Amino acid sequence: MTDLHTARILVVDDEEMNLRLLKRILEKDGYSEVTFVASGKDIEALVRDVDPHLLLLDLHMPPPDGFEILRRLSQQITGPSLLSVLVLTGDSTAETKRKALLLGARDFLSKPFDATEALLRIRNLLETKFLYRRLEDQNAHLEQRVEERTAELQQSQNETLERLARAAEIRDDETGRHTQRVGELSAAIATSLGLGDHFVELISRAAPLHDVGKIGIPDSILLKPGTLTREETALMRSHTTIGARVLSGGKSEVMKMAEHIALSHHERWDGDGYPQRLNGTEIPIAARIVTVADCVDALTHNRPYRMSWPLAQALEEIQSCSGSHFDPQVVDALMTIDVKRRIVASPPHPWPAVKDDQSAARRLTPIR
């Protein structure tokens, strides 16, 4: 508000002569929104109706006196941008001023009034009040812009991570849905494990990057329909360390988690995995979760080297490997969720599939 004379002022004083004097002073100076009352009996309702910017309040009145009114209005006068109170009093003792200030009064105007002093004190309080109001409005606007910018940056980061995950799979998963399904299934498992909303949010965003290291694996190996040679297997397994290098050095929680997942999602609970042969709880919990989610989705969807399995068969295989390949608690959590709702049956695949015998088809080792 730039014109202080349009500020709403409420004057409460039981002496008619004081009210007439203040009315003359304020009207002569151009204040147009002034309400005068001789009692503070219904002060709360009056303040709600008038919604004043400034209250001129006499202290010594019949009940309720000014001190009681200050107590009743404590919620409205606790902040500098809220209702300002200018006390009208003929009692200038230190004790009276101390008590009024403790109850929220901002300034004092001694009786009998001097017109110039009264107008200066009123103007000072209104200017201070509206300055705080403008600062609060500016701060609110800045906070809103920060929130909007933060949301934009978050959205940008999410899109970047999603596209990075898709880039890693574009060659061996033309639908691009594997990374999303692994993220969703990992989040569901983490929820079942009771790991908290923050962890669930992080793993839903980090898990899709588990195979980002495949960008460094040649198509001749990545898309090979048959069994890999020992040398090819070693190169294929290097996608874990490649992925960790790609994601290393990140400052955000999601990038740090994604790095751990990329490096360790092929470790085994019994220590027979790769690349570091970690075992048990040495393996980060996020990686243990993604290991199971990735395996479920990989088994139930076509791959260049094998056709998809029925979901029931895949879940049976996962359970049979609980305690050896997989963390038993993660497997138990998997079995408590509706996996079928998150796993869509694999469509017909253009790549040729290897015709392994039944025993070979039952092995998890072809999960690359």
pLDDT tens digits along 8-62: 999 999 999 999 999 999 999 999 899 999 988 889 899 988 989 999 999 989 8
Class in CATH terms, 170-361: mainly alpha
> Which tokens is 306 given?
């094998």
pLDDT at 360: 37
User: What does the domain layout of the chain look like in residue ranges?
Assistant: 4-141, 170-361
Model confidence at 148, pLDDT cuts 50, 70, 90, reads: confident
Q: What percent of the chain has pLDDT over 90?
A: 49
> Which CATH architecture describes the domain 4-141?
3-Layer(aba) Sandwich (3.40)
pLDDT, residue 173, reads 61
Is the confidence at residue 357, as pLDDT, over 50?
Answer: no
DSSP 2: -
HSE, side-chain direction, 13 A CA sphere, residue 71 = 8
DSSP letters for 170-225: TTT-TT--HHHHHHHHHHHHHHHTT--HHHHHHHHHHGGGTTGGGGGS-HHHHT--
End-to-end CA distance of the chain: 68
